[in-house]
Amino acid sequence: MAERFNEVVLPHLGDALALARWLTGNAADAEDVVQDACIKAHAGIAGYAGGNSRAWLLTIVRNTSYTWMSRNRPRSIMAVGDLGDLDDMAAAHGTSLPDEDGPEASLIAKADTAALEAAIAALPQPFRETLVLRDINGLSYREISAMLGVAMGTVMSRLARARNLLMSELGSAP
């Protein structure tokens, strides 16, 4: 059992910390969350039936992050608003590209780390988590769709919207 835990969980601690860091907003909280998540993973290791162990662990990390935040930061959860707002907000961005000229690719490529991190942190939570799961944790659309319990099309549109928001943010910054 201990070996299985080491095989399944330990290789993905970096990914787990990265996800928790982006969901909670800071690295110190991420360690607490990942530690809690690993305790749950250990208790539930028998339920891991093979397959992508990273996706399995990250699902636990995500759930633990939201439990942790609802306990420690109830206000930040409220700030997300409901999904109706989200779609309105996103629609405004969805139509602005690419007909209107987006920023040059070279401008995005030159964006500095701090600006990019701030832009990601400022994303509405459903967009942020989709972007992080895809571009930082490297999960496939199908895995993200299973983890979030949303359709593939929703994953795709959230990802596109997240990236559009980042691109216009980075493109407008001097």
Partner 1 sequence: MSDDGLPNDAKGIKLMIHALIDGELDAAAALALERRIAADPALAAEHARIVALRAAVTRLPRPDVSDAFRARIAALGATATAQPAQDEPERDELVEPRPGIPSARQDQPRGDQLRGTTRRDAQTRPSQTRALPRARRFGSFDWRAMAASIMISAVLASGATQWVMFNSASDGFAAAVASGHRRSLLAASPIDIVSSDRHTVKPWLDARIGVSPPAPDLAQDGFALIGGRVEVISGRPVPALVYRHREHLITLVAEPQQGGSTTAPEDLSSGGFSMVHWSDGAFSYWAISDMERPELDDFVARFRKAAV
Binding footprint of partner 1 on the chain (CB under 8 A) = 1-7, 9-11, 13-14, 17-18, 21, 27, 30-32, 34-36, 38-40, 42-43, 49-54, 94-95, 97-99, 101-106, 108-109, 111, 113, 116-117, 120, 131, 134-136, 140-142, 156-157, 159-160, 163, 166-167, 170
- In this structure, what token pair is assigned to residue 94? 């969805």
Say which residue the tokens 């935040």 belong to.
69
Task: Please state the φ and ψ torsions of residue 32, each to the nearest 5 degrees.
Answer: -60, -45
We find the least distance from the C-beta atom of residue 156 to partner 1, in angstroms, to be 5
We find the least distance from the C-beta atom of residue 94 to partner 1, in angstroms, to be 6
Q: Alpha-carbon distance 65 to 60, whole Å?
A: 8
Judged by CB, which is closer to partner 1: 71, or 79?
71
Judged by CB, which is closer to partner 1: 106, or 172?
106
Cα three-residue angle 121-127-128, rounded to 5 degrees: 30
Residue type (1 letter), 138? G
Residue type (1 letter), 35? Q
